[in-house]
Amino acid sequence: MKVTKHKKARKYMSFYINNFGFREPLLTLIDGTFCQAAYKARIQIEDQLKKYFQCELKLIVTACIITEVDNIGGPLTAVCQLLKKFLVHRCGHEKAPISGSACIKSMTKTCNYIVATQDRGLQEWLRSRPGVPLFYLHNNLVPTLVQPSEASVRAAASKSQARVQVREVDTQTLTSLKRKEGILVEEDGAGKDKPKRKKKGKNPNPLSCKKSKKRKEQDGLKKTEAVQEHAIEKKKRKRVKLAKHVVEHLKSIKAEGEQ
């Protein structure tokens, strides 16, 4: 199960890295609700998140989040002390602090953050925003990175389509360059009937033509004559020419026999 969980986390984060420009170290914005749930479950936030994402992380909070938890006081005093251990990021509301959820909403509009929260209302808002990874503790125990929302998927698809499409400025530049180089030929008098070309007579295909009967007969006669001549040549006796001394020797033998 752990392997599957880490695979999903890598898959989801690679989606955000490829489509929305997330880079390591990943900035993780933690609110009071997440910190409270982790404190109750005795989860070491930094260690668990590094194990889960298996990459460099920066855990950050804002002054608004700390102020909100500090104002509640009482049972959340320990949570406030825990929040103060993380890196405090400037949010621009230092002089007039706002609620933690409102601060997170304004922060995610300007920069890429992974938001760790248990606030259901904030979670729904984050799902409607493209390019904002949502992290929470499932059943207040299991660290879970939420699958990219439909808004994020649609935004990624539109971005990839925009990369592929050729801009109008580029097409105009290409046409001007073609005209300059003489590659583009402008058609004058579009819509006029073009003069039809006369078809030239073509010679018949010699392979598809049949031979004439006369030619066949002549070829047949030639073949028979050639066969007959060849047979006559075979019948002719070949004379063997003997040497003079052999002829004389044969004659002497013949003369002796007659005597």
**Overall average pLDDT of the 65-83 stretch:** 91
Q: pLDDT category, 122, cuts 50, 70, 90?
A: very high
Q: How far apart, in whole angstroms, are the C-alpha atoms of residue 82 and residue 76? A: 10
What are residue 116's DSSP bridge partners? 30, 135
Q: Phi and psi of 198, rounded to 5°?
A: -75, 135
Domains of the chain by start residue, with CATH: 1-156 (3.40.50.1010)
Which pLDDT score, from 0 to 100, does residue 1 have?
A: 44
How confident is the model over 191-247, as pLDDT tens digits? Answer: 455 566 777 777 777 777 766 666 666 666 677 767 666 666 555 555 667 777 777
Q: List, in order, residues 6 or more apart from 16 with CB less than 8 Å away.
A: 22, 112, 131, 133, 148, 152
